[in-house]
Amino acid sequence: MAGPIPVIVHPPSATGGRRVRVDGEILGLAHNVADVAEFLRRAGLEIDPAEVAKSPWIDWRGGGGGALGPGDATVEKV
């Protein structure tokens, strides 16, 4: 495949957090950009958490990286 693996961060859910999908697979529910970076790391895509919100290869749906909603650093696997 030419280019990076498709990464989609879905709109915030009603209960907080956003689903993160990489190459068609849902990796979990992120509550902050560190969660997104951790999911990507687990998928083999290294990215600095400071770069997640402005990365051009992440498709932020329903708002950018600043719209993750309330939460802590806990990563929830769905």
Note the helical H segments in the chain: 33-42, 49-52
Question: How far apart are alpha carbons 17 and 77 in whole angstroms?
Answer: 12
Model confidence pLDDT, tens digit, residues 32-65: 999 999 999 999 888 888 888 888 889 999 877 6
Identify the residue with better confidence: 70 or 27: 27
pLDDT of residue 14: 87
Question: How far apart are alpha carbons 38 and 62 in whole angstroms?
Answer: 21
pLDDT of residue 2: 41
- Tell me phi and psi for residue 38, to 5 degrees: -65, -45
- Tell me phi and psi for residue 26, to 5 degrees: -75, 125
pLDDT of residue 29: 95
pLDDT above 70 covers a percentage of the chain that reads: 77
